[in-house]
Every structure is written in C-alpha cells, then in structure tokens.
Structure 1
Amino acid sequence: MAMRGARWVGAGLADQVVMATANAANTLLPIGLLASRTRAGALVLSVGLGYLVLSVNRAFIGDTMLAQVSRLDGEERARLVRHALAAAVAVGCVAGAILIAVWALWRHPSGTIDLQDLIWVAPFLPVILLHDTGRYTYLSEREPAQALIIDLVWTGSQALIIVLMVTTGSTSPGLLLASWGLGACAGAATFLARSGARPWRGDPRRWLAETRKLSGWFTATTLVGQIQVQAVGFLVAGRMSGAELAVLRSGQTALLQPVQNFVTAMMGLLVPRSSRLAGSRNERGLRRQTLRLAAAFAGLAVVMIAVVVPLANVLQPHLGRYAAIVPLALPINLQAGIYLLQIPFTAAIRGMQRARLLFAQYLIFTITSLTGLVLGASQGHLQGAAWGLTIGAAAGLVAMISIYTWAAARLVPASASTPLSTEVSGV
C-alpha cells in the first residue's frame, strides 16, 4: 500500500509539473518568439482570458468531481461523468461565443488593451474544457497516471507544432494560440479513445441540478480569484506600458506560477487528511498538523527567497529579453513565499468545509491586492505594482489565519469513545 501511495503521489506531482510547464510556456513563449514586446503583451491578455474560462470550468466541474464523483461507483458514477463532460462542452461553447463577441467589439491594434487574438482562442474552448474535464475524471478515479498520459499528449503535440513553426520561420501570434487548441484536440481525442466516454450522451442540466450546492461556492470563489488575476492587466493598462505589462506577467509566470501550481498539488494531498481530522472533530490534531506544516512551508519560503533572488541577479546579464524581470524577483518571491505559508491554513479551511469563509477570504485578498496594485503602479510603475500585489497577499494571509483560527475553535471535540486513530491514520 505504501508503494502504491508513493506511485500515486509521484504521478500526481508529475502531472502537475507537466501542466505547470505548459501553462508557463503559453505566457513566456510570446515574449521570446515575437519581435514586438508590445505585441506579445497583447497576446498574453488573450491567453489570460482563455485561462479564466479554464479556471472557472475547473471550479464548476473539476473540483466538484474530486469532491463528489470520487465517492461514486458503477453506473451512477459513469452517468455523472457523462453529465460532467457534456457540461464542459456546453460551457466551452457559451464561453467561446462570448469571447468572439468581445473580440468583435474590442480589437484595437493601436489601443492599450488589445484583444485581437481572442479569435484564435474562442473556437478551441469546447475541446480545451473537454480535455481538462477528462483529466479530472481520471483524478477523481485516483488514476493520476492516466491523467498524465493525456496531458503529455496535449503538451507534446503543442510543442511539436511550435518547433515546426520556429524551424520554418512561420511563427505568429495566431499560430501560437492555435497550437494550444490543437494540442488540446489531440489530448481530448486520446481521452475519449482510452476511456470510452461519450459526452453527447450526457445532460449539462443534470450536472447543474445534482451538484449545484457544491459547485456554486467553488465557482464563486474561483471567479473572485480570477477577477484578481485578470484585473492585474486591465487595471494598470493606463498606468503602465504594454511592454511593462508583458514584463510583469512574465515575472509572475516564471517566479510565481510554479509556486501556485505546487500549491494546487499540495491541496490534493492535504485536504483529504484535513477533512478526516475535521470530520472526527479532532481539533487538536488539525491544529497540530496545520502549525507543523506552516513552520515547514515557512522554512521552504525562506530558502526559496534566499536562493532565487541572488541567483536572478547573477544570471541577469545572460537572460536577454527576460533580464527586465530581475528587479521584480524580490517582491514576486515574497508573494510566492506568502502563498507557501498559506497552504496548511487553506487546506484546513477546505477540510472543515468552510466554503463561505474561504470565499470571504478571497474577497479580502482580492480587494487589498488590487488596491495595492493600482496605488503601486501609480507611484512606482513596474516595481510599485509588484510590491502592491505582495502587500495584498500579506493581507490575505492574515485574513486566512484569522478565519482558520475562528473556524478551528468551533470544532466540537469528539467524545472519548470515538476511535480517532482509525479516522486519521492515512493520508
């Protein structure tokens, strides 16, 4: 069992590495491959809106599958999976139509906010969401190795297309985005062939009816978080140039996004154990786990900052176009360290099923982060914006710890006869 658990964790972390690398490449490649940094910044805005749709779909369907579908077996499970896949395609179609409308009304090649590349994102959204829901189907079955396979097909196909573009000298913003969608087509086709799933037999309305209580709060929380992410680009559009925005986004992608993906992976490992501790009303055990992990992640954050910031300065002369990111290394790494420290408290809140409190924390974090962003960009442009986001993250951490403390204090202690050891023995 220990070896099987180790393989399960290893495959899950490997899959997260693959997805993190692909996500980073979709933002960093335009900076390196396109001659105009301003043009790259415009493409990054369109990529960001595509990821907004993907994140909402993951909350509405993916996270709900992990929490609800994973408890089902047999035909009942297969039925709900069909509904989930059908819902993903429906969400992709609706979102694609909306983005096409936005593209038609807001394509300003000479403007500060340029969304001319949305036309390359919108048509692929249904298949992108289908692939991602297939990935969560495997994860809900505790088969991350299968998710890793279809993700490798996606990223491998996309990488091959990009290599062909570069070697033939035909690189363009549209083709870079099309490679993302075509890779998703390959991954989704592989999932359908291997699983035998038939999305057209599902009913999106049944998915909504059967999961609305759980998916509602997940989606609301993700929307708040994604509003914060997207607003970083749009709120500073009048205070920073397109080139500065591209540098800020690239710095976040290179230095912050890997940590965010690590946070996602750790949530998958820690939330189940936190949930068992909370379900058994083992308030002492939950506190002990949370505080020990907080100390460990605080140490990891210190090491990360101590290594990455000096290393960035040493490598600056060799980074070419990416050298402009180096002055942002300290504030962005501090923000990443805050996210690491927040992991055990977030896992505990999720384990205690305090979804409304989690939503409230995201509201506080978003308001403080965007306020710091605008004020920082107005006063210090690029570095001011980065420091403003870091201050907002610190306020979010304080809110998370406060919410956790309040919720943990209200766990009713289990009776002396409750066999707690059987409830919390596994991870």
Structure 2
Amino acid sequence: MPGLRNARWVGAGLADQFVVACANAGNTVAALLLLDRNRSGVMLQSLALIYVVMFLNRAFVGDVLLALASRYEGECRDRLVRNGLAAAVTFAAAAAVVLLVIWAVWPGNNLRDLVWIAPFLPVLLLQDTGRCSYLADRQPTKALVTDLVWVGTQAAAVVVMWLTGHASAPGLLVCWAIGAAAGLAVFLLRTGHRPWRGRPIRWLGETRHLSGWFTATAVIGQFQVLAVTFLVSGQLSSLALSGLRGAQTALLQPVQNFVTAVQGLVVPRASRLARDAARLPGVEGEQAGGSLRRLTWKLALAFTALAALMVAVMWPVATLVLVHIHKFKDIAPLALPVTLQAGIYVVQVPFTAALRAMHRARLLFVQYAVFTTASLTALVVGAHLHELKGAAWGLLLGAVVGLVVMIALYGYALRFLGQPEPERLAERQLVP
C-alpha cells in the first residue's frame, strides 16, 4: 500500500534524524552532566569549531547529494556518491591540519581539546556523507541502521568511561569518534563504496553551481555559530556560554535536527518536481510546478500549527523543569525566547527546502547573510542591555528577520520556476 510505504519512509527518516540528534546533543549533554560548568564551557568552544567543519562538509557534499544526486539513477548517481566521499576525505584532511595549527598557536587553554578530535575528522565527515547518500537515494531505513550503530557504540563507550571513573572532555570526544567509525564501517561494508575510488576534482567540476554557494552559505551560518560562542563568552562569561548552550541543546537543537530530517525527506522529492517543471514540455511541466507550490504551502501550514503547539507545550514545561534544578536555575528565563526561535525555524523549513530543490543557492546565501547580520547585531545589543537574557531575545529577533526574508526570496524564485535552469550545462557533465 503506497500510504503505508510513505508512512514508513517518513517514519524512518525522522527516526534517523532523532538518532543523529542523540549523538550530537549527547556531546553537549554529557559534558554538562559529567564535567563542571567551566570545564564544559571550555570543551564546547572546541566542539563548536568541529561542528563548523562538519556543517561546511555537509554543505559542500551532503546537501549537494540531496539536491542533485536525487535527480539521477544508477551509475550516474553512484559516481556522484564516490566523488562526494573522496571530496569529504580531502576536505577533512585539510580541515584537520588547520585545526591542529589553531590548537598549537591559540593563546590560553580554551581550545585545548582540538588536539583530541581533529585527527578523527575523516571518519566523522565520511560517516555523515554516507548518511546523506542514503537519503538522496530515498533509503532512510538504511541510514537509520548505520546511525544506530554509531550512537549505540558511542553511548556504550561513554558509559564504560563513566563507570570506570575516567570521565573527561578528551574522553567524550574520542567516544564520539569511535561511534562514528563503527557507523562508517557498516556503511562501507553494505555499499561497497571506497572513498579512494572517487575523484574530488571531478566533484568540484560537476557540482560547482551548488557546492560553491551552499558552502559559502554554510560559512556564514557557521560564522554566526562561532560568533555567538565567542561573543557570549567574551562579552559575558564561559558560565553564560554554557548556560546558553544548555538551553539551546535542550530546546533548540532537537528542533534543528527535526528541521534537518524534514529537509532530508522533502528536498529529494521537491528537487525532482523542480527538475520536471523545467524540463518537461507543456502541461506536464506546469503540473510539476504546481505540485511543488502545493507541497510547499501545505507543509508551511502544517508546520505553522506544529510550531504553535510546540511553543505552547515546551515553554511552560522547560521553565518548570529548569527552575527546580539548582545547577540550571539561572537559565530558566531563556526558555521562552529559545522556544520561540525554535518555532520560527520550523515554519521556515518548507521555504528553505523549496529553494534548495530549485537550486536557487545564491538566494539562500543572501538570506543567510541578512539573517546573520541581524542576529549578531541584536545579540550584542541585547547582551549589553540585559546580559544573557537580552542575548537570547536578540537571537530571536534575528530569526524573525530571517524568516521574513526567506519567504520573500521564495516568492521571488517562483517567478523562474519552469524556465530553463541556469545550471543545466554543468549537469550535462553527469550524463554518462
């Protein structure tokens, strides 16, 4: 039954992202629970840099696979995956060298933990790229199995470390890498892909119309993450940073992972509709374009209702829980602005997915530039006026600006839906 198959497909995709969220959030949660607040704040600064590298690789390789490889079948798609894996390894090696240099020359000890995780970057990036290749091929169940191996191995390693009384920041980071290595091994064994068989230079040539803009957008997005980290720790304190990150991990990060899951499911489908709207003649092309519009607005309405429900539930529950935990009582006032910010991100999902599907990467870059400028400006002003609480409300204001700009750019992009795609020449290189 098609309905049952679709339900299983969506369920597997959401479950997979939940598992990935547990692995990523587990790093922050474990640091907050097993280490003191100041030491966890120091570790989170190194972790922030690692996440920057991971998200840049996701933009450079993973997001391109979702938007482009999903349009092809057979050897054409397999070649894209092989070249993407090779590009991820090359990117990881270069990033590891840069991070080790930063570790060696950075004054003080705030980035001391980089040396423990930088050597494992190839494993982390390859595991994530393999997962994206499964999603591009519309096989979230296989991605789920691989990621369950990852999270299960990581969790077991952390438990062993804790039971033996050796909990430490370096140990938590190594446990993360061990889990990713286990998941990657399963992916390579099941698919037969070998990163050394790909050609990173060919990846650049075949995907530059997307990978360049996606990466530039990710640079801005991750610059914002880093800027928030160092602005809060510098303008306020490491204690304030751990408080903000704790609130975001509990309330915002799960929603961001849900957003990523939905995009992993929606973008491949929407990308095929955008392709058909541009390439099918007459009525067929118009029908594909209409289907893409309807899909976007149905999701927008559904997610707006979901966001309202989420805020109505999460805000009072989070406030009630935080005020009764002495260690985190000071961050209870952050529950409302952080929850509202999460709701805005949910509403924005369908429009972001549609722009990715239509390959309007330059418009995404513009949106992130405006969003980042507004967020950081409001953060600095808010922190100056009302310290940590003001910083959280400033980030919310930036999210509102980002949503308005995203919807406006989506409306602008629809004017070109159905016209010949400007990237068509580059995509011809993919045809065997």
TM-score, normalised to structure 2's length? 0.89
Matching residue's letter, 1:329: A
Tell me the percent identity: 56
Matching residue's letter, 1:159: A
CA contact (8 A) 2:376 2:395 kept: yes
- Match in the other structure for 2:336: 330
Q: How does 1:11-410 map to 2 (within 5 A)?
A: 11-35=12-36, 37-109=37-109, 114-275=110-271, 278=274, 279=277, 280-281=285-286, 286-410=292-416
2: CA distance between counterparts of 1:350 and 1:95?
26
2: CA distance between counterparts of 1:271 and 1:58?
14
- Change in 2 beyond 3 A, CA 1:376/1:221: same
Matching residue's letter, 2:215: T
Matching residue's letter, 1:70: S
TM-score, normalised to structure 1's length? 0.90
Alignment deviations for residues 2-53 of structure 1 (CA, whole Å, 9 cap, x no partner): 3322222211111001011111111121111103x11111101111111111
CA contact (8 A) 1:281 1:411 kept: no
- Change in 2 beyond 3 A, CA 1:222/1:308: same
2: CA distance between counterparts of 1:90 and 1:286?
35
Tell me the CA shift for residue 173 of structure 1.
Answer: 0.8
The secondary structure found in structure 1 opposite 2:151 is helix
Alignment deviations for residues 357-383 of structure 1 (CA, whole Å, 9 cap, x no partner): 111011100000011111111221110
Q: Larger deviation: 329-338 or 312-321?
A: 312-321
2: CA distance between counterparts of 1:13 and 1:382?
32
2: CA distance between counterparts of 1:317 and 1:326?
6
- Change in 2 beyond 3 A, CA 1:360/1:303: same
Matching residue's letter, 2:4: M
Alignment deviations for residues 287-337 of structure 1 (CA, whole Å, 9 cap, x no partner): 554444333322222221111121123223443423333210000011111
- Match in the other structure for 1:417: none
CA contact (8 A) 1:83 1:207 kept: yes
The secondary structure found in structure 2 opposite 1:237 is helix
CA contact (8 A) 1:32 1:321 kept: no
Aligned Cα root-mean-square deviation (Å):
2.1
- Match in the other structure for 1:2: 3
- Change in 2 beyond 3 A, CA 1:115/1:261: same
2: CA distance between counterparts of 1:89 and 1:257?
27
1: CA distance between counterparts of 2:84 and 2:356?
22
Matching residue's letter, 1:222: A
2: CA distance between counterparts of 1:273 and 1:70?
8
The secondary structure found in structure 2 opposite 1:197 is coil
CA contact (8 A) 1:96 1:125 kept: yes
Show structure 2 runs of 5+ residues with no match. 278-284, 420-432
Alignment deviations for residues 363-422 of structure 1 (CA, whole Å, 9 cap, x no partner): 100000011111111221110110000001111111112222233345469xxxxxxxxx
Matching residue's letter, 2:60: F
- Match in the other structure for 2:429: none
1: CA distance between counterparts of 2:165 and 2:54?
30
- Change in 2 beyond 3 A, CA 1:65/1:410: closer
CA contact (8 A) 2:67 2:356 kept: no
2: CA distance between counterparts of 1:207 and 1:293?
32
Tell me the CA shift for residue 345 of structure 1.
Answer: 2.2
1: CA distance between counterparts of 2:207 and 2:72?
13
Equivalences, count: 409
1: CA distance between counterparts of 2:188 and 2:412?
45
The secondary structure found in structure 2 opposite 1:353 is coil
CA contact (8 A) 1:16 1:261 kept: yes
